[in-house]
Amino acid sequence: MAPNQNNPNPRSTLRVALIGQSTFAADVFHRLRLHGHQIVGIFTIEDKNNREDPLALAGRENDVPVFKFKTWRKGGKVIPEVLHTYMGVNADLNVLAYCSQFIPMEVINYPRMQSICYHPSILPRHRGASAINWTLICGDKEAGLTIFWPDDGLDTGPILLQEKCAVEPNDTVDTIYKRFLYPVGVSAIARAVDMVAQDTAPKDIQSEKGATYDAMLNKAELQKIDWTKTGKQLHDFIRGMDSVPGASCTITLPEGEPQYALLFGSTVWRKPVPQGTEIAIEGTKPGVIHEDGLLLTGSDGVHVNVKRVKLNGRMREAARLIESSNQVALKYTTEETNFVNSIKTIWESILKTELEWDADFFACGAGSMDVVRLVEEVKDLTKAELANEDVFLAPVLDEFCTTVILKLRGSSAPTEIEYEGVELEVNGMTVKVPCQLFIDGKFVDSADGQTLTSVNPSDESVICKVQCASAKDVDKAVAAAKKAFETGEWSKISARERGQLLYRLADLMHEHREELATIESIDSGAVYTLALKTHIGMSIETWRYFAGCTDKIQGSTIPISHARPNKNLTFTRREPIGVCGLITPWNYPLMMLSWKMAACLAAGNTVVIKPAQVCPLTALKFAELAAKAGIPPGVINVLPGTGSKCGQAIAAHPHIRKLGFTGSTEIGQVIMKTCAESNMKKCSLELGGKSPLVIFSDCDLDKAVRLGMQSVFFNKGENCIAAGRLFVEASIHDEFVRRVVQETKRIAIGDPLLRSTSHGPQNHLAHFEKLLEFVQIGVKEGATLECGGKRLDRPGYFFEPAIFTDVDDHMYIANEESFGPIMIISKFEDGDIDDVLRRSNATEYGLASGVFTKDLSKALRFAESLDAGTVFVNTYNKTDVAAPFGGFKQSGFGKDLGQEALNEYLKTKCVTIEY
């Protein structure tokens, strides 16, 4: 309710002349009208760039007379025409709302109630034009505002009212203004006008005790940092100059010339001095550029960290000062220049202020609706395909303009991804693959210079040397991931915007699917047509599925007992875990990466992944595409390396909070122990398998033969859910064996890049030799080798698919996983369901299983009784991105794919509120 509604005083409504030019003044305009006062005239500045200031716009929209004076004085005297115009509005009171002009005393004293003025300080302290700055520079414990009666000294007049607030340790000009001086100032002015109207406004004479008059900080010598100050004083000075005009100094970057620099984003550094690169700073000790900013030293040895540095008019992250900027330098055409200037006008229209090219959209006060408006207006102007996340990822005006122009030129990414790699002419195309580690959005060499050799399993030729990550590289990657999760762009965008980035990544993977399939084929031996459909195709489907899950992660409200007479509200939040480590196998290099990482990122986490040592190339190509898709630096880090060094460092790292692993049971046990001993990190393990496939005599035998072969030989048998042992009912055993032997001998083995090939080389030499040894053990144990089991007489790791019969339960090959194209067939007596169930479950593995029968009751009994995470009935290998995947017993725990996979990368927080 407006104050005048409670006040019978007939003078409670005043005729007010409002003098100012800011958004603050526009809000005062609306607040005074809400309190019942009449604004009879607005006096403001002339338009800039044909655009009205916010106060003038508010007046025009509400049919209030607006007067725009370039100046009120000439030669130190009031301009008669201006004074006459002013006097014509016949105001009871002048309100100077953050007025930047020098108003003559003839105007100040003309209204019958004279004038009141807003000042952002606790007068008499910090009289002058830069009061907020000096409040911080002087280290004041309190800040505040004053409404006073201006005299010929303007801010030396009597005080009407004051409001105070505590200065927080890292306050800046912007934070104090937005948190207190702006909102409280608007209400304070309205309250002061009410007091004037009600004759209750005091006029307390200012004391000269403690009075200061501080200079306006518009001269270069006043903006320069005094390095004789203590660390706390340096911090106060830098934050007092943030965001305008900036604290200045002269720095010299390595191998560069001295440069004038402005520093922003200061905090007192209370942690150990980090390692970094020293840069020279004129007049003081060298600064240290480190992963979190630029470290400075006060005269007392106390350190100060700054986050941002402006060089040559461009704001940059202090941590990246010595790195070359990723932003593409564009030379605009005439049409593009017109677009850029128009985009600047759109920004200024939305933000209602004049902007420089380094203006930050959100730092200038933009909100979510402003993002929508900006995107739509720029799309209407340029016809560029923009999305909201383009604003979040390029919030600075000149960077945003570059993004738009690049999209108009047909490029979706505003960065050039540079790396050292290998270029290959293969499969009728030119393929370029990175050969470095991918850390914090960049391809870099390993700390110790070690490399891995990537070998083509088709001909045993060396494809390239790949950088091999050390424990130091893991530390760097984890630090980048932690920063991205806690303070980076990834932590700021919404779940829906995160999903849009993942969709964009999936689109890029689809665009490069032939290239990815080719890399997968030469690096892992995957048949190209299968790689295109499954290795790459299902990877893309996985990213799209989880991109759609990002904004569907939600908690619930829970009814609990009330604490009478109060009530309780309890709800849960589903939150990301933080930095996650992933270690993936060599059988499906890109698909296993995607199964885990897509759910991990959809949940909002960041990732450090170690792909398989023997085939890391698709993971590195994926990293390049992720950067091009606009995934922010630090979100994805790819570290090729050995399990003993890189893998162990990831598992043991104290800042990794979740580990996802696919591999052998033996390594999984080591991983789990390390997770427990390091920091009790959460882990999910997809381990070994010896999956049973039971084939009853009442099955569709043609289908059972065809899918039985696929259950073993799919992807060269390098398949975690491969049927490790086939149990065939006695009455059809011999016919089944005859037919699978016949069909197996027809399998087209050869170059995986040939479209006619259906079976390629095994992944790598060590695995190939283990398969030969596995066959030898089977023969030695007395099993019958029906066919295959030998090396083909040609270069490459080509292995003839093998079939064993007469396999007894105690044999090595009946219990151990071959992870290759070796079919193990055992017979069971007709109708003995109980015994074959027992034999099927008589293993410590429980990843997958299958049954072929036309008897629905029998099928359902097996689905219920088989102790495995996946049961296939009259099919096999039918996985889908929406269906959860994971094992029981020593096949591990946790799920990939489906909604359940998100649970592996989320934590549940319970919140209870009493009211």
Look up residue 178 and give its DSSP letter.
I
Q: Of the residues 119, 235, 303, 759, which is catalytic?
A: 119
Evaluated on CA atoms 369, 375, 380, 385, the torsion sign reads negative
Distance, CA of 163 to CA of 185 (rounded, Å): 8
DSSP for 94-127?
Answer: EEESS--S---HHHHT-STT-EEEEESS-TTTTB
* The pair of three-digit structure tokens given for residue 33, joined into one six-digit string: 């009208």
The answer to whether the beta carbons of residues 826 and 809 sit under 8 Å apart is yes
Q: Of the residues 364, 675, 683, 720, which is catalytic?
A: 720
DSSP for 380-436?
Answer: HHH-----HHHHHH--BHHHHHHHHHHHHTT-S-SB-----EEEEEETTEEEEEE-S
Whether 655 is catalytic = no
Distance, CA of 376 to CA of 49 (rounded, Å): 23
* The pair of three-digit structure tokens given for residue 707, joined into one six-digit string: 């899918």
Residues of the binding site: 101-103, 155, 610-613, 643-648, 663-664, 770, 817-819
Residues in CB range of 90: below 8 A, 6 or more apart: 15, 40
* The pair of three-digit structure tokens given for residue 669, joined into one six-digit string: 């046990």
Distance, CA of 518 to CA of 894 (rounded, Å): 31
Measured CA distances, 402 to 189, 308, 412, 913 (Å): 43, 21, 11, 47
Distance, CA of 673 to CA of 454 (rounded, Å): 30
Which residue has tokens 């060298």? 286
The answer to whether the beta carbons of residues 580 and 555 sit under 8 Å apart is no
Residues in CB range of 714: below 8 A, 6 or more apart: 722, 877
Whether 686 is catalytic = yes
**Do β-strands 277-281 and 287-290 pair in parallel, antiparallel, or remain unpaired?**
antiparallel
Residues of the binding site for NADP(+): 610-613, 643-648, 663-664, 770, 817-819
Distance, CA of 287 to CA of 304 (rounded, Å): 10
Measured CA distances, 631 to 491, 580, 594, 622, 803 (Å): 12, 16, 15, 12, 47
The answer to whether the beta carbons of residues 517 and 532 sit under 8 Å apart is yes
Residues of the binding site for (6R)-10-formyltetrahydrofolate: 101-103, 155
Residues in CB range of 74: below 8 A, 6 or more apart: none
Whether 290 is catalytic = no
Q: Which amino acid is at 92?
A: D
CB 130: neighbour CB atoms within 10 A? 22
Q: Of the residues 399, 686, 718, 904, which is catalytic?
A: 686
Catalytic residues: 119, 686, 720
